[in-house]
Structure 1
Amino acid sequence: MTGEARAPDRSDRRVWLRVALALLYGGVGAVHLLRPELLMPIMPSWVPEPRLVILATGLCEIVGAAALLGQRRRRAAAAGLALYAACVYPANLKHALEHVPVPGIPDSWWYHGPRLAFQPILIWAALYTGALIDWPFRAKRHPSAARSDPHARGR
């Protein structure tokens, strides 16, 4: 080894982000299962059987986190977690806009603003770590490869 630092490649970024997402979703899923009453107040009124939904989503988060770390079901887990992150947005909006108190979470726009803004990033991160998208880290193509690719015209 020469002592030179090598730049992380796409697979390194995906691995670290995948582990971080698995820890996040696993932890949040555990809260859903162990303390569903904490989340009941932020459930929109139109959600049927809110306690059951909280328990089911907690289970989905844990299963999704575990599958994200594996190889076999990673893409399905990534798609599921991205969909989950989109589906919980109404509860996050209610929490913020109606100032619903949740123990352990501040009722401040210093919390809610970044939390709401970060949701699309969670969706992207799940899709990226599952290799469903490459953006914005798409590999740069060598110019000679573009000339030999008949589909590369106009890029």
Structure 2
Amino acid sequence: MIRVALRYLLALFYAYAGYRHLVGPEPFLTITPGWVPFPEAVVFWTGIAEIAGAITLAQPLSRRLLQAGAIGLALYALCVWPANVNHMLMDMAREDGGWGMAYHVPRMIAQPLIIWLALWTGLVIDWPFGKRGAQPK
């Protein structure tokens, strides 16, 4: 039950994040590393990817689609991690220290947790709650 509830919560989180990428891309463009080509297009398509991933998490009909969406969102979270690191470095370089370490350290720690949560709620993995070698339910 908690797994399903967290899956829907994660779907809502990603749907909202995707919406924010589409209607207000400026904050995301600001933290996009300079080496990323076509940043406007990348931010747009990351918003689309978040919304598509959210839809796959929210649909209860196909386990394969659910797992594909979960893997996609986990990979997405891994791929945008450089933008989060860039944001932290830019922010900490500001004279006023920006948001500060109290914001950025938990955010950096949260990224692998979000990756795990997508895989766990998407029935890709059972770790650490399942028996070793057991198939996700």
TM-score, normalization: structure 2?
Answer: 0.86
Aligned partner of 1:34 among 23, 31, 34:
23
Q: Within 5 A, what are the aligned runs for 1:4-153?
A: 12-70=1-59, 71-72=61-62, 73-99=65-91, 107-139=99-131
How far the C-alpha of 1:139 sits from its partner, in A, is 4.8
- Cα RMSD over matched residues? 1.7
**In 1, Cα distance between the equivalents of 2:28 and 2:50?**
15
Sequence identity (%) = 48
**In 1, Cα distance between the equivalents of 2:79 and 2:6?**
21
**In 2, Cα distance between the equivalents of 1:38 and 1:126?**
24
Gapped runs of 5+ residues in structure 1? Answer: 1-11, 101-105, 141-155
**In 2, Cα distance between the equivalents of 1:123 and 1:97?**
22
Give the secondary structure class of the aligned counterpart of 1:99.
helix
Alignment partner, residue 150 of structure 1: none
Gapped runs of 5+ residues in structure 2? Answer: 93-97, 133-137
How many corresponding residue pairs? 125
- The structure carrying a bigger helix percent of its residues is 2
TM-score, normalization: structure 1?
Answer: 0.76
How far the C-alpha of 1:14 sits from its partner, in A, is 1.4
**In 2, Cα distance between the equivalents of 1:81 and 1:36?**
19
How far the C-alpha of 1:114 sits from its partner, in A, is 0.4
